[in-house]
C-alpha cells in the first residue's frame, strides 16, 4: 500500500508539471524545452526559501521564478525570432548556472530539519500522516486545474487557445499573438516550477540534476492521459494530463515491483508497460476492423 499511496502522491505532484506541459505542447502547440531548467529552478528556489523558514512563500517564489523563465523563452522566440526549440534549450542551459547560483554553488541542497508543507500537514494529521499528504497533494492539484480551466475560458484564455490553433487567423483578427505566446509559456513554466518546488519539499532535497528528462516524463503523462480520455475540451484535457501523470507513476511502481529481471532492466520494463497501456485502444480497433472485414466477407460469400 505504501508504494501505491506514494506513487499517487508523486503522481499528483508531477501532475502539476504535466499541466504546464499540456499548456505549452497542446494548447499553445509549441514544443517548449525550458521545462528541464524551470523544474530545477522551482526546486532550487523552494529549497533556499524553505531553509530560511518560509515553506509557503517558497511555493510562490518558485511560481514567480518559473514564470520569468517561461517569459524569457517567450521573449527570445517572439522578439528575437529565435526558433522556439532553440529558445527553450538556451533558457534551459542558462538556468543550470542560475540554479547553481541560487543554491549557493552547491549541486545538492538538503532541507532536512526545516519545516515543509508536508511535514506540517503530517504533524496536523498525526496518525494519518500519509492520508494528510495525499489530500494536500490532491487539493493543490485540483486548485491548479480549476484555476487553469477558468483562465482558459476567459477572453484572454480563448485568445491563447486560438493562437495555438491558427496563428495566422489570430493575427488577422488583430490579437497580439506574441503576447498570448509569452503568457502561455510563462503560465506553463510557472506550473512546472511549482511542481519542482513541491517535489523538493516532498523528497526533502533539491538536486540541480533533477530536472533532466522532465519534458519526456511530462509528455508521456499528457499522452497517456489522452489515450484514456481522448482529445476533447481543454478542461477535460487538463484533467486527463493530471490523471496521466498519476497513471505513469503507478506504471513505474508496477515496473519496480517486477523482480524477475536484473535491476538495470527497469527502464525497458517501464517502456514496455507504457507501450502495452497505450496500445490497448489500437489493438481493440484492429480487432473490431477484422471482425467487420470477416462479416463483410461472409455477407459477400452468402450473396
Partner 1 sequence: MKKLVALLLVLILGLGTLSGCSKKSETPQKKSFKIGIVQPMDHPSLNQIRETIISELKAQGMGDKVEIITKNANGDMNLLPSIMQEFVNSNVDMIVPIATPAAQAARASTKTIPIVFSAVSNPVEAGLVTSFEETTGNITGVSNSIPIEDIFKLAATITPKAKTFGLVYNSSEINSTSGIKKAKSYCDQNGIKYKEAAITGTADLQQAASSLVGQIDAFFTPNDNTVASAMATYVKVATDAKLPIYAGADSMVKDGALATVGIDYTKLGKQTAAMVARIVNGQTIKENHVEQVAEYANMINISTADKLGITISDELKQKFVILGK
Shortest approach of partner 1 to residue 101 CB, angstroms?
Answer: 11
Q: Which of 80, 127, 260, 263 binds partner 1 (CB under 8 A)?
A: 263
Q: Which stretch binds partner 1 (CB under 8 A): 7-15, 21-29, 141-149, 290-298?
A: 7-15
Q: Does 208 interact with partner 1 (rule: CB under 8 A)?
A: yes
Q: Which of 59, 191, 220, 252 binds partner 1 (CB under 8 A)?
A: 252
What cell does 134 get?
Answer: 495525499
The number of helix segments (H) and strand segments (E) in the chain equals 12, 2
Q: Does 108 interact with partner 1 (rule: CB under 8 A)?
A: yes
**Toward partner 1, which CB reaches closer, 102 or 252?**
252
Q: Which of 32, 36, 207, 226 binds partner 1 (CB under 8 A)?
A: 207
**Toward partner 1, which CB reaches closer, 263 or 299?**
263
Q: CA-to-CA distance for 278 and 18, rounded, in angstroms?
A: 17
Q: Which of 199, 215, 222, 242 binds partner 1 (CB under 8 A)?
A: 199
Residues of this chain, 15-74, that bind partner 1 according to CB under 8 A: none
The residues near 223 (Cβ < 8 Å, ≥ 6 apart) are 244, 278
**Toward partner 1, which CB reaches closer, 257 or 301?**
257
Q: CA-to-CA distance for 224 and 129, rounded, in angstroms?
A: 30
C-beta of residue 201 within 8 angstroms of C-beta of residue 116: yes
Q: Which stretch binds partner 1 (CB under 8 A): 54-62, 183-191, 264-272, 287-295?
A: 264-272
C-beta of residue 65 within 8 angstroms of C-beta of residue 41: yes
Of 247, 251, 213, nearest to 227 by C-alpha is 247
Q: Does 104 interact with partner 1 (rule: CB under 8 A)?
A: no
Give SS3 for 110.
strand
What cell does 220 get?
Answer: 508521456
Neighbours of 49 (CB within 10 A): 24
What cell does 129 get?
Answer: 500522516
**Toward partner 1, which CB reaches closer, 19 or 214?**
214
The residues near 163 (Cβ < 8 Å, ≥ 6 apart) are 28, 170, 175, 177, 180, 181, 184
**Toward partner 1, which CB reaches closer, 162 or 204?**
204
**Toward partner 1, which CB reaches closer, 53 or 281?**
281
Q: Which of 210, 215, 223, 226 binds partner 1 (CB under 8 A)?
A: 210
The residues near 96 (Cβ < 8 Å, ≥ 6 apart) are 37, 40, 208
Q: Does 243 interact with partner 1 (rule: CB under 8 A)?
A: yes
The label of the residue with cell 528556489 reads: 45
Q: Does 142 interact with partner 1 (rule: CB under 8 A)?
A: no
Neighbours of 37 (CB within 10 A): 32
Q: Does 115 interact with partner 1 (rule: CB under 8 A)?
A: no
The residues that touch partner 1, with contacts defined as CB under 8 A, are 1-7, 10, 14, 96, 100, 105-108, 110-113, 199, 202-205, 207-210, 213, 217, 228-229, 243, 247, 249-254, 256-259, 263-264, 266-267, 277, 280-281
Amino acid at each position: 500500500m505504501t508504494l501505491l499511496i506514494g506513487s499517487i502522491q508523486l503522481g499528483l505532484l508531477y501532475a502539476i508539471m504535466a499541466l504546464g506541459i499540456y499548456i505549452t505542447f497542446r494548447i499553445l502547440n509549441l514544443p517548449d524545452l525550458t521545462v528541464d531548467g524551470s523544474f530545477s529552478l522551482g526546486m532550487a528556489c523552494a529549497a533556499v526559501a524553505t531553509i530560511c523558514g518560509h515553506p509557503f512563500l517558497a511555493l510562490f517564489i518558485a511560481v514567480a521564478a518559473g514564470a520569468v523563465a517561461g517569459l524569457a523563452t517567450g521573449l527570445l522566440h517572439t522578439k528575437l525570432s529565435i526558433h522556439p526549440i532553440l529558445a527553450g534549450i538556451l533558457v534551459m542551459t542558462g538556468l543550470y548556472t542560475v540554479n547553481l547560483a541560487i543554491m549557493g554553488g552547491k549541486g545538492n541542497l538538503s532541507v532536512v530539519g526545516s519545516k515543509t508543507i508536508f511535514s506540517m500537514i503530517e504533524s496536523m494529521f498525526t496518525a494519518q500522516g500519509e492520508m494528510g499528504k495525499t489530500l494536500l497533494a490532491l487539493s493543490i492539484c485540483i486548485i491548479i486545474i480549476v484555476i487553469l480551466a477558468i483562465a482558459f475560458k476567459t477572453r484572454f484564455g480563448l485568445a491563447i487557445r486560438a493562437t495555438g490553433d491558427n496563428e495566422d487567423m489570430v493575427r488577422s483578427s488583430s490579437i497580439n499573438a506574441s503576447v498570448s505566446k509569452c503568457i502561455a509559456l510563462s503560465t506553463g513554466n510557472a506550473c512546472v516550477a511549482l511542481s519542482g518546488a513541491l517535489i523538493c519539499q516532498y523528497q526533502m532535497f533539491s538536486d540541480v540534476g533533477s530536472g533532466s528528462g522532465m519534458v519526456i516524463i511530462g509528455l508521456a503523462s499528457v499522452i497517456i492521459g489522452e489515450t484514456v480520455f481522448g482529445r476533447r475540451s481543454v478542461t477535460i484535457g487538463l484533467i486527463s494530463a493530471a490523471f496521466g501523470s498519476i497513471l505513469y507513476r503507478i506504471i513505474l511502481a508496477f515496473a519496480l515491483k517486477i523482480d524477475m529481471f536484473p535491476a538495470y532492466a527497469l527502464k525497458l520494463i517501464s517502456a514496455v508497460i507504457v507501450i502495452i497501456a497505450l496500445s490497448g485502444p489500437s489493438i481493440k480497433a484492429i480487432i473490431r476492423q477484422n471482425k467487420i472485414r470477416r462479416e463483410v466477407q461472409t455477407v459477400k460469400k452468402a450473396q
